[in-house]
Structure 1
Amino acid sequence: MSLIEKISQQAAHLTPNERRLAETVIESPTTAALGTASDLARIVGVHEATASRLVRKLGFDSYAAFRDALREEFIATRDPATRFEKTIAETPAGTILGSLAQTEAQALSRIEDFITADQIADAAGLMMAAPRIFIYGYGNAEVLALMMTKRFRRFGKDVHHMTPDPRGLAEQALGMQAGDALLTFAFRRPPRAYAALIQTAHEAGAASIVISGNSGALLSPRPDHLLAAPRSGDPDAFQTLTVPMTVCNAIIIAAGQTAKDTSLKKLERLGHLIERFE
């Protein structure tokens, strides 16, 4: 089990100070991986015993074991606070494309360390089996939401692309029923409507699916299905949508495979309709 999954499982049981420590670990893994429990506690402003207690809750016998896991999982892939400004300041104009390609390739090469084929298949199966699919993306995740909305409509699914307006969200969420599926995204920080959407889906009996970066480990309330993977392969690089878009495309392909004949018939019918309307 990855460290992200361990934090995610314990997120609802963390005290406020333990949560602050976990947030610091995710945002600044180098600091936590190179120091001691005392160093981390001092940076966050909590007692050293709090750091030790967090480590035990995550299933580690000692801070040293936790630090080793942290180095293995995060150091090569996590983006610290220095983002776009540092990237453009240190990357010569002539090497931007190559540097970015290398950074993204590193992240993509480790994606299966965080998200399994079974997780992709489960998410695709739920969405294809759902009577209705509700998709919400805010900020830079909106382009992913639009892509997923379009792709699943091409499979003949009843897809609702949810508006960012609070009143509009409430009106659309009112239609959620048992068996439906909610897909949303959470990068760095969850969108303002995240908690309300997940809670509403749970109350309605709809399955909730979240695509996220490392910060997904601390999402609360926890979704039914969390697909979380680091978005950057270089600690000094800003984050792009390459990794989450790859996850989305994997779900789309898996969805087509779950109902191959039906999907192909829908796409064929779509082609005829496009010719008619054009």
Structure 2
Amino acid sequence: MKQTNVPNPATSAELLETLQSARADLTPELAKLANFLLENPYEIGVNSIRQLATKAEVKPNTLVRLSRSLGMDSYEAFREVFRDEIRQGRETYPDRARWLQSLAQRGEIGALYAASAESAIDNIVSFFASTDHHLIEVAAKDIVAARRCYVLGVGVNNAVARNFAYLAGMAIDGVRALPQGGTLPVDGIARADAGDILIAMTFRPYRREIVEAVAVARAQGVPVIAISDSLACPIMADAQHRFVVPTDTPQFFISTIALTAFFEVLIAFIIAEAGEDVVTSIDAYHAQRQALGIYVEDKDWQT
């Protein structure tokens, strides 16, 4: 692999972005290491070269070669960039379920409450600290300029997608949450093309139907805004916009707190980009609801 151009001094986000983009050109051994690092970026800052090589199941020299290919003088220089970004490894879903049960059995619900609060706060802080708001602004502009905007999420993410479509739909036309009814994710983008845009989200373990739908969208020339908890996620490759959103939680399912915050910011930027007419339209929308008596007035419940 030839040496890539990384800004100097590089940030961890820039290094990971470069690594993600360069994966296709790596040798199998380097690609194996790259996938491990993209999935476990915070392991880098806390491990020696031998420790990390053991975890990634590669030779220590592979870490040296990968570091130099990214423009770093050594693995230690590469590691230094990540030293302030330390987190615990991620358990599997069954492991977490068993742990939750053991907490309840030992009467440690208070500890679970504290851990939940800590992870929720950490996710929010991590997202806002690591995300460049200018990148969200550019994504918002592309959404406003698109003919239609599809937002795709399954499972718990489908509720997030529908909430975004509902709110963004007050500002711009053509926002559709997928999948709809009993359809498959890929069905909703059958007629999409380069004039549209697709927001897709999936988190570890990655959902096959999302990955397949994004592949179809790319083949049809549809720009993709990819959202996941790792740059190693398959939908991140060749996406027009990429956003890493932390979902850490001590509970069984992923946390959507930071994901919800991301979409709230995106909606705000969409409204700002769409112009004053949108604000007037939203005001008229709520005024009509008020006139129809949809909202409860103070006089309706006060005695």
Q: Where on the TM-score scale, by shorter chain, does this alignment land: which range?
A: 0.7 to 0.9
CA displacement 1:104-125 (0-9 Å, x = unmatched) = 2223223233211101111111
Distance 1:229 1:141 in 2: 13
Distance 2:246 2:69 in 1: 23
Distance 1:41 1:270 in 2: 58
- Partner of 1:160: helix, strand, or coil? strand
The answer to whether the aligner puts 1:174 opposite 2:181 as a matched pair is no
Match of 1:119 in 2: 135
Q: 1:225 aligns with which of 222, 241, 258?
A: 241
TM superposition shift of 1:136: 0.7
The answer to whether the 8 Å contact 1:10/1:58 transfers is no
Moved more, 250-259 or 84-93: 84-93
Q: TM-score, normalised by structure 2?
A: 0.75
Match of 1:67 in 2: 79
The answer to whether the aligner puts 1:23 opposite 2:30 as a matched pair is no
Q: 2:273 aligns with which of 250, 253, 258?
A: 258
TM superposition shift of 1:137: 0.3
> Which structure 2 segments of 5+ residues have no match?
1-10, 295-303
CA displacement 1:102-152 (0-9 Å, x = unmatched) = 322223223233211101111111112211011110222222111111112
Sort the Cα spacing of 1:44 and 1:146 in 2 relative to 1 into closer, same or farther, 3 A: same
1:188-267 maps to which residues of 2 (within 5 A)? 188-213=204-229, 215-219=230-234, 221-232=237-248, 239-267=254-282
TM superposition shift of 1:227: 1.1
TM superposition shift of 1:93: 1.8
TM superposition shift of 1:167: 6.9
Alignment root-mean-square deviation, CA: 3.2
1:1-16 maps to which residues of 2 (within 5 A)? 1=11, 2=13, 3-16=15-28
Distance 1:140 1:105 in 2: 20
The residue identity in structure 2 corresponding to 1:255 is I
Sort the Cα spacing of 1:267 and 1:79 in 2 relative to 1 into closer, same or farther, 3 A: farther
Max Rg structure: 2
Distance 1:219 1:32 in 2: 21
Distance 1:228 1:190 in 2: 14
The residue identity in structure 2 corresponding to 1:81 is E
Moved more, 88-97 or 199-208: 88-97
Q: 2:65 aligns with which of 50, 53, 74?
A: 53
- Partner of 2:150: helix, strand, or coil? strand
Q: 1:131 aligns with which of 129, 144, 147?
A: 147
> Which structure 1 segments of 5+ residues have no match?
none
Match of 1:106 in 2: 122
4+ aligned runs moved over 6 Å, structure 1: 164-167
The higher relative CO (CA closer than 8 Å, separation ≥ 6) is in: 1
Distance 1:154 1:117 in 2: 22
- Of Structure 1 and Structure 2, the greater helix share is in 1
Q: 2:169 aligns with which of 149, 153, 156?
A: 153
Q: TM-score, normalised by structure 1?
A: 0.81
Distance 1:133 1:51 in 2: 41
Sort the Cα spacing of 1:265 and 1:140 in 2 relative to 1 into closer, same or farther, 3 A: same
